[in-house]
Chain A
Amino acid sequence: MNPVINSSELVAKLRTFLPSEAVLHETEDLRPYECDGLSAYRQAPMIVALPQTEDEVAEIIRICHAAKTPVVARGAGTGLSGGALPHAEGVLLSLAKLKRILEMDPAARTARVQPGVRNLAISEAAAPYGLYYAPDPSSQIACSIGGNVAENSGGVHCLKYGLTVHNILKLRVVTIDAEILEIGGESLDSPGYDLLALMTGSEGMLGIVTEVTVKLTPRPEKAQVVMAAFDDIRKAGDAVANVIGAGIIPAGMEMMDKITTRAVEEYVHAGYNLDAAAILLCESDGAAEEVAEEIQRIDEIMNMSGATETRTSRDEAERLRFWAGRKAAFPAAGRISPDYYCMDGTIPRKSLASVLSGIEALSAEYGLRCMNVFHAGDGNLHPLILYDANRPGELKMTEEFGAKILQMCIQAGGTITGEHGVGIEKINEMCSQFKTGELEIFHAVKAAFDPDGLLNPGKAVPTLRRCAEHGAMHVHQGKEKFAELPRF
C-alpha cells in the first residue's frame, strides 16, 4: 500500500497536537528505534511518535489511517522476535511515555495501568498489599506490560500461575479507526467472543493497547527451591515427569545443560555442580507447612530419579542465588560469545531428550556452540546459539541452525514460539506450522480488526504468497531455506 502523504507533511500534522520533541524524524533521532531486542534485524522508521495520552494515541492513529501509513507499536523494546521492528515508510508508535499506574484496587486484587508501565513496577506497587503480578519474564525489570500483552509473555512461574492471558482482565484498545474499545472487564468473564484472548499475543497487529487491568495474586508465605544435578539429561527429563506424575505443580521448574551451567557459574557463583549434564531447579511456594512437605517430596523424587546431588535452599538469600544463575543465562551467553541467538520452541516434555540430541548433532554439524535453558515444567526450550556476527556467513549459518531446531519442535508436536512471538524472525516457520486454510483464518482475524493492514504489516502471519515461495525454495534448493527472500 502506498502512503498518500510524505514524511514532512505527516510530521507537520503530528506536531499540531504533539510537542516537537515527541515527533522524531531526523536520522540520528531515529537510530535508537531501529531495532528491538532482536538486534540482527534493523530498519529505521520514517517517523517516531511519542504520545503521552490515550487521546494522542487515537489522534496519531486517525491521521495514519487517513494517510494509509503503517503503524508499528513499541513498548520497552525488549522483544526477541523483531515484533517492534519499524516499517521504513511507517510511524513507530512508542508507548513508553504512557507509564502511569492509574489505580490499585487491593480489595478486588487488580491494578489498572498504562501500557508503558514496567512489569516489575506493578509488583512493586502491589507489594504493600501482600500482592504481586504473577507473570515474570526474565526481562521483567525492563519490559512493559503493553509488550507483555502483545506477546502473551510467560516467565519461570507460569506453569503454576499462568501466562499474561491468564492474568489480565481488561484492555482499552485504540482500533485502526481510532475508536476506543473496552475488551474484557472487571468481572471474571465478558459477553460475546473472547476478544481479550485474541488480543493477547497478537503482536500489535489488531489494535493499540492503551490501558491494561491486571489481576494481582497474593504473595505466597514462603518459597523454597531444590537444586538437583544429573549426569544424564534423560534422567533430568524423567525427574520432571516424576514430579508432575506425583501430583505436584511446582512454582517453577527450570533445567540448564552443562555448557549453560558452566557459563553462568563463572558469572554468578551460585554453587552449581559443574560436572552435571543437567541442573534442575524446582521451586515450591505457598503456606509454610505446605512448602515444607512439598520440598521434602521433591527432594525424594529427584533422588529416586537418579540425581547425583540435591541441595535445598536454606534461606531466601540462597534461594535467590540458586535462581540467579538461571536468570543470568542470557548475559552469561553474552560473556562467552560475541553474539548469541535465542530460540523459543515449545515441545511436549517427553521429546526433550530426542530434541536435545538433535540440537547437539546440529551444533557439531554447524560448528556452533549452543547453550540450552529449558522451562521444563511447560516444555518451553530456549537454545542459545553462540556465534560471531563479524565472521562472514556465521549469522546466516546461525539462522539456518535455528530454523532446523524449530522444524524439530514442530515435528515433535510442539510449536515454533512459546513466548517470544513470531514477529519478523519466525515468519517463514509459520508456513511450516500452519496450513493454507489456517493462515487464511489468521488473515481473516487481522482483517476483522484492521481491514487495510496498517498495524505492524509484515509481521506474525506470513502472506500465502510468501509461504508458496518459501515452500518452493525449501524443496528445490534444500539447505537454502533462508535464501534472499525480501524481508520487508
Chain B
Amino acid sequence: MQYIIDQLADSIRAAAGHKVPLCIRSGGSKDFYGNRIVGQADVLDPTAYAGIVDYEPTELVVTARAGTHLADLEAELNKHGQMLAFEPPHFGAAATLGGSVAVGLSGPRRASAGAARDFVLGVRMLDGRGDDLRFGGQVMKNVAGYDVSRLMTGSMGTLGLLLEVSLKVLPLPAMEITLRMPMKESDAIHRMNLWAGKPLSISATCFYDDELTLRLSGAEPAVRAAHAKLGGEEIDDGADFWKSVREQTHPFFQSGKTLWRLSIKSTALPLPLPGKQLIEWGGALRWWASDAGMDAEALHIMAKAASGHATLFRGQEVDATVFHPLAPGMMRIHRRLKEKFDPMGILNPGRMYPQS
C-alpha cells in the first residue's frame, strides 16, 4: 500500500513544482458541494488507498484508509454491533471515508451524538509539500500537539490529502423507534428545545409540513418510558424516513432549484422565508428549498441574526459564494493556515474561500 502513498506524494510534489492546482476527488459523491476550484485542475484520486487498517470493537476505535467506501466501513462496524454515531450522509454509493471527513457533514444524530469532528481521533495525511504526517492517534484522549485532526475535518481538502482516519465508534442502540405528531412550526421549535433539556433518549428530530418526527434510541426500558412521556404515533418505516432525510432523497430536498442550509441557534424563531423549510437537529438546522432565488447576502444577514450561518448547499451557479463570509480577522488566520499547510496553493484552491 505504501506505493500508493508514494505515487500520491509524487503527484503533489510535481503539482507544487509546476504550480498546477489539484482537485482531490474519489467517488465524486460530493462534487456538488462547495465552490468551484480556481484554475484548470488535475484530479488527484486517492480511492485506491482503501481498506480498514485496524478495528478493535472493544476499544471503540476504527482506523481506515481514506479511499474506503463509507458503505463498506459501516457494514463492517454493523457486523460488530457498532456505528459511526454522526451518521454521515453518503450522497451516493461512491462515497468514501476520506471525502466524508473532508466535507465534515453529519446526519440526523448530530444534535444528540455529536458531529464528524467530534469522532475524529487522528489522521494520516499528505500536506501540500507531499510530506506524510500523522496527527492525533487511536486513543480517545490526546492533547499532545494542536488538534490538527479536527482542523482537517471539514477543511474540504484545502489543507492536505487525508490518507487514513481514526474514528471513535459507538454501539448501535439496543432499540430505535420513530414517533410522529402533528404540530405547528413554532410549537415544534419550542418543544424540541424543551425536550432536549430533559433525559429523553431523543436521537433525531425532523419538522416538515406541520408534522414533527422524533427518533428515540437506547435501551428498551428508556425508549418505552420516553415514548410514554412524549406521546405520538409510532411509525413503521422510521429507518427509511431518517435515511431519506440524511441522504436528501426526501421529496422536500427536490422541491426547489436551490437548497440553502441555515445552521443557527436551536431556539431561533421560525425564519420568515417563502415556501417550505425542513428543520432538523432540534431546531439548529433549517433547510430551505427555493425556486424564487434569494439574494445570498439577505440570507447571510438572516442567519447571522439567528446566531448562525448560511450555506448555499445545492444549486450554486458559477462564481456564487457557497459558504458564509468570514470576519476579516478569521479570514486572515484561514489564509495563513492555508499558506503554511499548502505553500504553493495547489490543494483544492478556492473550494472553500478565495485564497483558501
Contact = CB atoms under 8 A, between A and B. Distances in A.
A287 interface: yes
A431 to B, nearest CB: 11
A194 B151 contact: yes
Nearest to B148: A441
B194 interface: yes
Contacts of B340: 441, 444-445, 447-448
Interface in B228-249: none
B310 to A, nearest CB: 9
B218 A416 contact: no
A108 interface: yes
Nearest to A242: B58
A418 B142 contact: yes
A290 B141 CA distance: 27
A20 to B, nearest CB: 32
A106 B153 CA distance: 30
A448 B337 contact: yes
Interface stretch (B16-24, B64-72, B112-120): B112-120
A247 B137 contact: no
Interface in B281-340: 281, 284-285, 307-309, 311, 323-327, 329-330, 333-334, 336-337, 340
A419 interface: yes
Interface in B145-176: 145-148, 150-151, 153-155, 159, 170-172, 174
B201 interface: yes
Interface in A285-329: 286-290, 292-294
Interface residues of A, number: 95
Contact of B336 (A166, A418, A421, A447): A447
A469 to B, nearest CB: 20
Given A187-B263, A245-B58, A442-B145, A290 B222 contact: yes
Nearest to A418: B141
A419 B143 contact: yes
B145 A438 contact: yes
Nearest to A436: B131
Contacts of A358: none
Given A186-B265, A195-B333, A289-B222, A107 B197 contact: yes
Contact of B334 (A192, A241, A430, A433): A192
Contacts of A152: 143, 147
Interface of A: 105-109, 129-131, 151-152, 154, 158-159, 162-163, 165-166, 175, 179-183, 185-195, 197-198, 200-202, 206, 218-221, 241-242, 244-245, 247-249, 286-290, 292-294, 346-350, 375, 378-380, 413-422, 426, 430, 433-435, 437-438, 441-442, 444-449, 460-461
A448 B265 CA distance: 29
Contacts of A151: 143
A247 B145 CA distance: 31
A81 to B, nearest CB: 9
A200 B147 contact: yes
B140 A378 contact: yes
A290 B150 contact: no
Contacts of A200: 147
B135 interface: yes
Given A154-B141, A430-B144, A445-B337, A437 B133 contact: yes
Nearest to A158: B141
Contacts of A197: 117, 147, 150-151, 153
Contacts of B196: 109, 218
Contacts of A154: 141
22 contacts: A165-B150, A181-B330, A188-B110, A188-B111, A194-B151, A198-B148, A220-B199, A241-B58, A287-B201, A289-B219, A290-B221, A294-B219, A346-B142, A348-B139, A378-B140, A415-B144, A419-B143, A426-B144, A437-B133, A445-B337, A448-B333, A449-B336
